[in-house]
Amino acid sequence: MVSMVSARRTSLLIRLSHEDAVRIRKEASAEHRTLSGYLLNVLERSMLIEQKVAHGASTPMLSMQARATLGPQCKKLHTAVHLRCTVEQAARIREYSARRQLSISDFVVFSLQRLWRAVARLHGS
């Protein structure tokens, strides 16, 4: 008999622009992932980058760099998406958001924009 111990689950409400929400849904569909699966994949990569690149950098510098990446995005009309994850994943997202002195939503949007910009550069856009 196989024992299935399920991880405790929670969810985070992520506020973002309508344009970002549409793009997330499009990208998730293209990768045959759920919306949460896509976001968690992006966030795992982002947290890996944070561990390697941002290690040792000052918190104010990390915050300024993230806010520069976010730009005027906070002025756009917002919607929300529901990110379903484990309690442990949510704790890590909160931890890395705090390192950048960002809200959880802003950290998610920052991670998305960093990925999308990198992909655009690779494709020469």
For the segment 111-121, what is each residue's pLDDT rounded down to a tens digit?
999 999 999 99
Q: How far is CA 93 from CA 12, 29, 43, in A?
A: 10, 23, 8
> Which DSSP category does 77 fall into?
-
The tokens describing 106, both together, are 């802003």
pTM higher than the cut 0.75: yes
For the segment 78-108, what is each residue's pLDDT rounded down to a tens digit?
899 999 999 999 999 999 999 888 999 999 9
Q: State the average pLDDT over residues 31-58.
A: 89
Q: Please, which pLDDT band fits residue 42 given cuts at 50, 70 and 90?
A: very high
Where b means 16+ CB within 10 Å and e means fewer, 70-97 reads beebeeeeeeebebbbeeebbeebeebb
The tokens describing 4, both together, are 């299935």
